[in-house]
């Protein structure tokens, strides 16, 4: 039964991710005084891409072709670890937060290789930038994660969230620091403004998009879907670690339904905030990203320090 729910939860996650992307687009359009495409547009785009014949460069190796499948699967495995609507599922026990970061790094590794594989200038440029950014984002992410694991005394995400749920609303300075650190990391990792511009057509400014410029058809669909999953993954992480209330603690149908509504509401609000910040800010200069991520790391570190100084003795 639990396993069934775990599978259901993962499928739900996969199917909801394009909706979140659509909602984000909708908010951005609204804020820019534009008419937004339908919320279902990302689904249509994915469907359209699967119908198209993928064009593969003659210089591409086998790596280029399998990379989308690896990236998509690794991201899917990562999301199985994340409690979306309920905690304490069998899949959640299979891996902890450090492995979660590892899964994402694994997906990225193949994305970067695929960018380099075809040998275009843009792909290489994107890969180089992606590695630069991830080398700074991952430590910051781990630092934020460690702050949480220290309070809950576990690196398992599900148990940590359960711990937070049971503890009720406690105002922890360390969590506030960790929250902001995680938000900054999430922006960098999902390639949003001000770090990367997902909507740009300017190859020279791209990071994530530059790596996937050569992809088309179903390969592109998988990569696009994986990045939508990643966006939602970070959204769920932020929502469920710091605001876990509403998650189903029992496996009754009403609790699960209520939890689904709760997480959709939380993600909806997060998307509005993201759209707001994307409307208000310009993309920053590439070399300022390191300041941005160092700041995220610093916040994570401060979170941990404040936990040790202010909270651990209690």
Partner 1 sequence: MSENISHWRTTLQTELEAEAISVNVRTTEATTIQHWQIAGEFWLRFAQLAYQQDLRWVAGWAEQETTAFVVHACFAYQGEYLWLSTALHTEKPELPSQAGIYPAASRSERHTQDLLGIHFTDHPDARVWLRHHAWGKHDYPLRKDFPLQGYPETITPPDMDYQFVKARGAAVYEIPVGPVHAGIIEPGHFRFQAVGETILNLEERLGYVHKGIEKLAEGRTPEALVHLAGRISGDSTVAYSWAACRAMEQAVGIRIPARAAFLRGILSERERIANHLGDIGAICNDVGFAFAQMQFSRLREQWQRTQADIFGHRLLMDSLIPGGVKVDLSPADSQILLQELKALRKELDDTIPALDLNSALEDRLFTSGYLSPATAKTFSTVGYVGRSSGQDLDVRRDTPYAPYDQLDFKVIVEQQGDVASRVWVRIKEVFASIKLLRQMLQQIPEGEQATSWHSPAEHSTGLAMIEGFRGEIISYVRFDNNNKISRFYTRDPSDFGFLALEKIVLNNIVPDFPVCNKSVNASYSGHDL
The residues that touch partner 1, with contacts defined as CB under 8 A, are 28, 31-34, 121-122, 125, 193-194, 197, 199-205, 278-288
Q: Least CB distance from residue 48 to partner 1, whole Å? A: 19
Tokens describing residue 6: 């775990």
Q: Least CB distance from residue 71 to partner 1, whole Å? A: 22
In whole angstroms, give the CA distance from residue 121 to residue 116.
9
Q: Least CB distance from residue 251 to partner 1, whole Å? A: 44
Q: At what angle do helices 62-80 and 2-31 cross, to 10 degrees?
A: 110
Q: What angle do CA 204, 205, 206 make, to 5 degrees?
A: 95
Give the nearer residue to partner 1 in terms of CB position, either 18 or 198: 198
Check residue 156 and give left, alpha or beta (phi > 0: left; psi -120 to 50: alpha). beta
Q: Least CB distance from residue 266 to partner 1, whole Å? A: 26
Give the nearer residue to partner 1 in terms of CB position, either 191 or 244: 191
Give the nearer residue to partner 1 in terms of CB position, either 48 or 288: 288
In whole angstroms, give the CA distance from residue 124 to residue 134.
15
Q: Least CB distance from residue 84 to partner 1, whole Å? A: 31
Give the nearer residue to partner 1 in terms of CB position, either 62 or 287: 287
Give the number of other Cβ atoms within 10 Å of residue 101's Cβ.
18
**Strand boundaries in the chain, DSSP class E:** none
């Amino acid at each position: 039964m639990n396993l069934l729910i775990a599978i259901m939860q993962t499928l739900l996650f996969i199917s909801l991710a394009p909706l979140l992307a659509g909602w984000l687009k909708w908010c951005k359009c609204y804020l820019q005084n534009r008419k937004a495409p339908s919320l279902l547009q990302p689904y249509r785009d994915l469907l359209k891409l699967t119908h198209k014949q993928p064009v593969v460069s003659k210089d591409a190796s086998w790596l280029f072709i399998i990379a989308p499948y690896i990236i998509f699967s690794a991201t899917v495995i990562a999301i199985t670890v994340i409690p979306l609507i309920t905690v304490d599922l069998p899949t959640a026990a299979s891996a902890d937060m450090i492995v979660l970061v590892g899964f994402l790094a694994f997906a990225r590794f193949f994305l970067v290789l695929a960018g380099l594989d075809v040998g275009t200038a843009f792909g290489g440029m994107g890969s180089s930038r992606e590695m630069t950014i991830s080398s700074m984002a991952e430590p910051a992410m781990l630092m934020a994660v460690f702050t949480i694991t220290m309070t809950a005394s576990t690196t398992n995400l599900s148990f940590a969230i359960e711990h937070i749920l049971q503890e009720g609303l406690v105002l922890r300075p360390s969590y506030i620091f960790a929250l902001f650190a995680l938000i900054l990391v999430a922006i960098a990792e999902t390639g949003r403004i001000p770090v990367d511009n997902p909507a740009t057509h300017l190859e020279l400014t791209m990071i994530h998009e530059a790596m996937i410029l050569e992809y088309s058809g179903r390969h592109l669909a998988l990569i696009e879907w994986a990045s939508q999953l990643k966006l939602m993954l970070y959204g769920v992480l932020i929502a469920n670690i710091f605001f876990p209330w509403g998650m189903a603690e029992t496996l009754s149908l009403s609790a699960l339904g209520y939890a689904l509504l709760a997480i959709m509401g939380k993600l909806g609000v997060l998307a509005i905030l993201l759209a707001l910040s994307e409307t208000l800010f310009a993309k920053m200069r590439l070399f300022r990203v390191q300041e941005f991520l160092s700041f995220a790391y610093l916040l994570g570190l401060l979170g941990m320090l404040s936990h040790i100084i202010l909270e651990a003795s209690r």
